[in-house]
Amino acid sequence: MLTVDNLNQYYGGSYILRNLAFEAPAGKVTALLGRNGVGKTTLLKCLMGLVPAATGGIAFEGHDLTRAAPHERVRAGIGYVPQGREIFPRLTVSENLEMGLATRPRGAELPPRIFEMFPVLKQMLRRRGGDLSGGQQQQLAIGRALAIGPRLLILDEPTEGIQPSIIKDIERAIRALAESGEMAILLVEQYYDFARSLADHYLVMERGEIVMRGLGSDMDKDGVRETLSV
């Protein structure tokens, strides 16, 4: 379980994250929705230690990670799939996946479920990451995050710029990971139907604040879709 407590963050003089407080429980998908520029990616960067939190707390499985370095958070079991994927284009698929093993004990192997979920990665192990389609790169980025054996998986807009057939594969994979009960999933999305189909709980952000929250099954009734339209 991830616990975020009164988190605040600023870029220069702008107040970007305002008193954020929420939890992401194990075995559940917590979907965070919000339009462009509301601070979703900044929040995830704070969770990963890529941007320091100004005030507030971040704890995972009872350990305070507020001041921990990014690699310590990965070692604590947090897998991160950044917006725009950020795979290594000149490294092979295999090498990209092995990057995810860097924090594991020597001799650790790639979890077989990466290839069960995304068989295309197995076929393309020797191809360069940069030669894959956008959707394949997204699968690779998820595979790399799974290679660390995460107990919290954080995904930043995994459907952005991806063709519908691969979106379905990614949806199935996220559902299976949640149902395994082995990890908490924090899913940032702007694609309402995707988030709605996966969310156990939802959060809506506007201008750095969480302005709505509830059960995934109440998203339609609560009017969450309308918060995303311009």
Ligand X SMILES: Nc1ncnc2c1ncn2[C@@H]1O[C@H](COP(=O)(O)OP(=O)(O)O)[C@@H](O)[C@H]1O
User: x-or-dash pattern for Mg ion, window 73-102, by CB under 5 A?
Assistant: ----------x-------------------
Contacts by residues 109-116 (CB-CB < 8 Å, ≥ 24 positions apart): 110/143, 110/147, 111/146, 111/147, 111/149, 113/146, 114/143, 114/146, 114/147
In 69-218 the beta strands, taken as DSSP E runs, fall at 78-81, 152-156, 184-189, 201-206, 209-215
Which CB atom, from 8 or from 83, has the smaller least distance to Mg ion?
A: 83
Helix (H) or strand (E) holding 31: strand 29-33
Residue 37 contacts by C-beta under 8 Å, 6 or more apart in sequence?
none
Q: Indicate which of ligand X, Mg ion, none lies near residue 2 (CB less than 5 to 8 Å, by partner kind).
A: none
> Checking phi first, is residue 107 left (phi over 0); if not, alpha (psi -120 to 50) or beta?
left
CB of 41 to Mg ion, least distance (A): 3
Question: What part of residues 28-67 is at the interface with ligand X (CB under 6 A)?
Answer: 34, 36-42
Q: Is 41 in the site for Mg ion (CB under 5 A)?
A: yes
| 196: partner contacted, choices ligand X, Mg ion, none (Cβ within 5-8 A by kind) | none
Q: Considering the rule CB under 6 A, would residue 7 count as an interface residue with ligand X?
A: no
Residue 89 DSSP class: T
The two tokens of residue 197 are 């189909």
- Nearest approach, Cβ of residue 6 and ligand X (Å): 18
Does the protein bind ligand X through residue 123 (CB under 6 A)?
no
Q: By CB under 6 A, tell whether 227 contacts ligand X.
A: no
Among 6, 11, 19, 168, binds ligand X (CB under 6 A): 11
Least Cβ distance, residue 36 to ligand X (angstroms) = 4
Which residues are at the interface with Mg ion (CB under 5 A)?
40-41, 83
